[in-house]
Structure 1
Amino acid sequence: MDTTTAIHQRRSVKHYDPNHKMSELEIQELLELTLLSPTSFNMQNWRFVVVSDQATKEALRAASWNQAQVSEASITILLCADLNAHEDAARYWVNAPQPVQDILVPMIAPLYENNPQLQRDEAMRSVGIAAQTLMLTAKSMGYDSCPMIGFDATKVGELIKLPENHVIGLMITVGKALKDANARGGQLPYEQVVFKDQFPS
């Protein structure tokens, strides 16, 4: 499936075949392609918790206002981020030429340390980019998905044993659709959201 088709066909699906299982190879392919998503300074600050255990999915469902897709999808993925990813920055550039390492590595920690707002902003940017990559990849593999923020982040954090200094960006369900998504609710007109050079006066 080409990228344009995947973009057009990707929808937020709420009803999945609860009997369908994704293979470990499929899950690995999905995540390996997601890991090609860009991050600032190549920090790769995202962390992914892939939940396929049914009991854990049921517990996540209970912490997600009993939304059925959480337990019925083949997998439920928590897209998280390490707020301290700027530390130990050299590991992100180990394969770069030494002159590149010498320029970039010393820039990373000073930019983010002592700036919790920027750390969180960067985490959410990275998670958002990865989420779209993941959903388009899933679609290209013949799967559907649903991005979700409707859950109790504290309870979900406890269930997945979220480490200190990490945040949960969103949850994504992935599986075989039993029912198509509803018709699109309505797109804003192009001219209301796209401006040339600057916002109109």
Structure 2
Amino acid sequence: METSLQTNDFFTVIRERHAVKHYDPAHKLSEKEILELLEIAGTAPSAWNLQHWKFMAITDQAAKEKLLPIAYGQKQIVDSSVVVAVLGDLQANLNAEDVYAPAVKQGLLTEEIKQNLIGQINYTYANVPNAPRDEAIRNASLAAMQLMLAARAKGLDTCPIGGFDSAKFVEAFNVPSRYIPVMLITVGKAASPARPSSRFPVERTVVWNSF
């Protein structure tokens, strides 16, 4: 997909990404620009390459107004260019055939290996407690982070939001039971800078080899 926004140095992107709460409501993103960001987000890694995410792009102002009370009145919901609801796939094991069949067709996998992989996946989803939910949240979160970095690289701002009523979101936006809301991400142009936030020194967050 053709790049439509300027990109920046990766480490600059990392350092400059902050959670922005105040957006310019006049700034719009085209469908093409949103799809470009979501395509990049979808290149994130995932367990067994099952791609355990579904993105709901909320651009319609009426839909944002509906979402506003569900997100406890956070004004960034209605002022941002788009709100992306990142959903985790509780039945990502059903993606396995579509993931591996092309590799078999290209001669990269044998049919036997494909069937073994699918068997492992289905066994895990059927027998390992919490595996479907854990994998849905873990892998969708990787895509969410990649979305935020892609947006910053293109001069946009984001904020991940966990503060919303998941049950009401599912009901209001007709989310199938296959998916679990992981987070909302607002994307747009900052109207004012993000509030500075500190980070612990790396020495505090690293343990070498064992506790």
Scaled by the length of structure 2, the TM-score of the pair is 0.89
Taking the aligned partners of 2:129 and 2:78, their CA distance within structure 1 comes to 34
Taking the aligned partners of 2:131 and 2:210, their CA distance within structure 1 comes to 25
1:106 aligns to 2:119 (yes or no): yes
The residue aligned with 2:164 is: 151
Residues 52 and 116 (structure 1 numbering): CA distance in 2 closer, same or farther, change over 3 Å?
Answer: farther
Q: How does 1:181-200 map to 2 (within 5 A)?
A: 181-184=194-197, 186-199=198-211
Cα deviation, residue 52, structure 1 = 0.1
1:6 aligns to 2:13 (yes or no): yes
The answer on whether the counterparts of 1:145 and 1:173 sit within 8 Å (CA) in structure 2 is yes
Q: Which is worse superposed, 97-106 or 36-45?
A: 97-106
The residue aligned with 1:69 is: 76
The residue aligned with 2:144 is: 131
Taking the aligned partners of 1:165 and 1:29, their CA distance within structure 2 comes to 25
Residues 64 and 88 (structure 1 numbering): CA distance in 2 closer, same or farther, change over 3 Å?
Answer: closer
Q: Deviations over 1:144-170 (max 9, x none)?
A: 000001111111111221101320000
The residue aligned with 2:193 is: 180
The SS at the match of 1:163 is: coil
Q: Which is worse superposed, 110-119 or 46-55?
A: 110-119
The answer on whether the counterparts of 1:79 and 1:171 sit within 8 Å (CA) in structure 2 is yes
- Structure 2 letter corresponding to 1:141: K
The answer on whether the counterparts of 1:86 and 1:113 sit within 8 Å (CA) in structure 2 is no
The residue aligned with 2:93 is: 86
- Structure 2 letter corresponding to 1:98: L
> Mind listing any 5+ residue stretches in structure 1 that lack a counterpart?
none
Taking the aligned partners of 2:52 and 2:138, their CA distance within structure 1 comes to 10
Q: How does 1:26-45 map to 2 (within 5 A)?
A: 26-45=33-52
Cα deviation, residue 65, structure 1 = 0.9
Taking the aligned partners of 1:102 and 1:8, their CA distance within structure 2 comes to 43
The SS at the match of 2:92 is: coil
Give the number of equivalent residue pairs: 198
The residue aligned with 1:95 is: 102
The residue aligned with 1:23 is: 30
Instruction: Give the root-mean-square deviation of aligned CA atoms.
Output: 1.3
The residue aligned with 2:183 is: 170
1:46 aligns to 2:50 (yes or no): no
The answer on whether the counterparts of 1:49 and 1:160 sit within 8 Å (CA) in structure 2 is no
Moved beyond 4 Å, runs of 4+ = none
> Mind listing any 5+ residue stretches in structure 2 that lack a counterpart?
1-7
Cα deviation, residue 66, structure 1 = 0.4
The answer on whether the counterparts of 1:52 and 1:76 sit within 8 Å (CA) in structure 2 is yes
